[in-house]
Structure 1
């Protein structure tokens, strides 16, 4: 059957049903609660099993594999909408220097080690696998299903392939599960060793974190009504701005491709830049207070659930079968650096609460930030370590650098070679760790500021 508007709506409806069923399962089944498996992962897994590749119960369209990339573009289009304050790099370094340096170094080293050592593993043991395959490991591990689809799409376009997105989604799914299960194991070990600062035994989080159902007395507002519904619905206003940023980025992508067909800048990055410009324009007008950051955050979170669900449901079992051993080999490599980061880097470089700050990084550099937050809440239930606050401040700069990593790494890896690009990114990561050790671990910058 030809793909049409009904095909998209039906795909969304089927995934919505799976998310509802997944949430019911999460509410009732204890193992899923204890491992804090997101409903989107459960729903995506059901979508894969019930889809045409296995049981053929759900008639997915042949386009569900493209939804993850579209959704990450929409998410990034709204990433900076509602942000009114401008954060300078000097301010971030002064207030959260170790958080910025270690988190940024972790990402650079994840990409760099995969491009260098992952590429070497492929060349030595799996010579028939294309070298850029190694880039899909950090795309899935560090960036989750969104970055996996973005970098996978870029590699498909640059290499003329069709399987990079599916490979990236596989890495993202395995990384997410590694982050959850491995992180909980880590926490249990450190609790027994007395390395945690806020818990003496691993108790479950409050029931709403396990079941997903928030009691009425704890329910919070999703955001403010910034527009009068007599004029335009507030949610419609936020959706309109988000999609406006997306279409600006997408239109610019199609325009520059006419003149620079060999240059691949992901629509995700262009949409985010469009969102930044759009917000700056709004800040100069009477509409500056009409964008609520919490509402934009909820829109992004909503699309993230569908992104993960479709990302897992669209994984090609044929592709997994073809690359099963290389995928497992690189997953071992992808898990090694986060472990080193927790046991050695975080322990020695963070100025306080080293384990709580490190386990958060372990979660996001194997899965996504939500996984890191879940692990952090287990060992720091009241968020006394300040980890999330510091990361939120640092991320205002980290997110900009990430855009360049995602945009440039695939292009440079194809044109210059994975080892060269990986060596550069490894070097940047190591330099950031040295800066952290010299200035922030010793407190020199703080002392200088207080003089």
Structure 2
């Protein structure tokens, strides 16, 4: 492969995104249901590629599909390195006070996805369909982690002998986004009908134009500096990973004969920790405002868009078709669990404003953080309930572990080495712990407020 191949692949992706944006303008339902442009572009890339129209009619050269298939693994580290760069890190007490109920609810949903998935793997998927027990982690990886995490773990799936798992997770991620937006829209309207949301809280003035945050020219000129800090965060993550691998080689995996966990761990969760370390250091030096959070978010958003387009465009339809039975079972079970968590658990965990708070967790648990933010915007566009702040702080106690964090990354090697049943028991214990925290620590506060 030559540099010109990479250049052509990125040009074609840019044209694909422009075409998807044009469809967004021509087809209002795409905007009405908040289907991201990147998802539309990825689906177009898939439909116009060799898996649908065939090798002879495909618009994409072979080198282009090769480049696209390799992008997600690289760009996911950029996305996670940006999570905490440029953001003010609150104290643990402040975070817990504002986001505690949302943390308990979100963690319950996340670990419950492992419980549901692993139970299905042990009882149905492995005995009846012969699917690897690693499928038990696919719901959490696809729903909570999304396209980025699913694609980022492709090598781990392959190394552990379940290469098809990445495609199943990507398929579930697409199902999760669509289901999250459609079901979330229905839930918002249901809440409005039930009087849980007042009309003025959900009706935006259509005559008022939404102003977009602009980035000053001085910050655009410092794009290079921001990219350099992102590169530093990823580099620190890589050094942390190499250090963990080295420690493993001197302890439980001497001479490669023992338990190899760190060797299967992807880079992106440690790149996130690298970003946290950099932001803590800048804050300690009195330069916490050196990086602009809006510009960092734009860089992260661009990387995530390109990642999603590439991941969906190179999704293996043959794999999804081959595992259509397990795929449908996992999809239905995952969606049902998320609905259960919203309709039955959220009202009992959140002391106040359970509907917008619960929608934030529902959207994230079924279709990534972006869907959660979209549903919050629909339920509380003026942010009168403070859900956005609570949701933002929640990520500090959530993203490092599940939804693409360390626990997500380690789930596959843990299942591979220890088996599905022990991991299921651990996940069930963690889920019950967070459920008890939500019901018995924050739940009583609701009665006090009433």
TM-score class, shorter-chain normalisation, is 0.7 to 0.9
Distance 1:61 1:203, change over 3 A: same
* C-alpha separation in 2, matches of 1:410 and 1:224: 44
Q: Deviations over 1:253-306 (max 9, x none)?
A: 457557466222210122122222233333444754321122111111111111
3-state SS in 2 of match to 1:218: coil
Q: Which moved more, 1:177-186 or 1:110-119?
A: 110-119
Q: Deviations over 1:23-49 (max 9, x none)?
A: 121122122122111101110000001
Q: Which moved more, 1:68-77 or 1:91-100?
A: 91-100
* C-alpha separation in 1, matches of 2:205 and 2:175: 24
3-state SS in 2 of match to 1:62: helix
* C-alpha separation in 2, matches of 1:430 and 1:222: 44
Aligned with residue 140 of structure 2, among 118, 138, 141: 138
Asked if the contact 1:224/1:292 (under 8 Å) is kept, the reply is no
Residue 241 of structure 1 corresponds to 229
Residue 362 of structure 1 corresponds to 362
Distance 1:285 1:357, change over 3 A: closer
Q: Deviations over 1:331-369 (max 9, x none)?
A: 011111111011110122211122222222221111111
* C-alpha separation in 1, matches of 2:383 and 2:292: 24
Aligned ranges for residues 57-68 of structure 1 at < 5 Å?
A: 57-59=59-61, 60-68=64-72
- Deviation, structure 1 residue 197: 1.6
- Deviation, structure 1 residue 431: 1.6
Asked if the contact 1:45/1:313 (under 8 Å) is kept, the reply is yes
Distance 1:280 1:343, change over 3 A: closer
Q: Deviations over 1:367-410 (max 9, x none)?
A: 11111121222222222222111111222222223323123212
Aligned ranges for residues 47-446 of structure 1 at < 5 Å?
A: 47-55=45-53, 56-59=58-61, 60-88=64-92, 90-126=93-129, 128-157=130-159, 159-192=160-193, 194-199=194-199, 206=206, 218-222=211-215, 225=218, 233-250=221-238, 253=241, 257=245, 259=249, 262-263=260-261, 264-285=264-285, 288-402=288-402, 403-443=405-445
* C-alpha separation in 2, matches of 1:408 and 1:14: 35
* C-alpha separation in 2, matches of 1:204 and 1:13: 37
- Deviation, structure 1 residue 203: 5.7
Asked if the contact 1:92/1:393 (under 8 Å) is kept, the reply is yes
What is the root-mean-square deviation in Å for CA atoms of aligned residues? 2.7
Give the gaps of 5 or more residues in structure 1.
209-214
Q: Which moved more, 1:143-152 or 1:116-125?
A: 116-125
* C-alpha separation in 2, matches of 1:162 and 1:129: 11
TM-score (norm 2): 0.87
* C-alpha separation in 2, matches of 1:368 and 1:424: 24
Residue 212 of structure 1 corresponds to none
Distance 1:380 1:255, change over 3 A: closer
Q: Please state if 1:20 is matched with 2:18.
A: yes
- Deviation, structure 1 residue 86: 4.4
- Deviation, structure 1 residue 74: 1.0
3-state SS in 2 of match to 1:348: helix
Q: Deviations over 1:407-445 (max 9, x none)?
A: 321221111112321221222122212122222121299
* C-alpha separation in 2, matches of 1:129 and 1:423: 20
* C-alpha separation in 1, matches of 2:358 and 2:6: 40
Residue 42 of structure 2 corresponds to 44
Give the gaps of 5 or more residues in structure 2.
none
TM-score (norm 1): 0.87
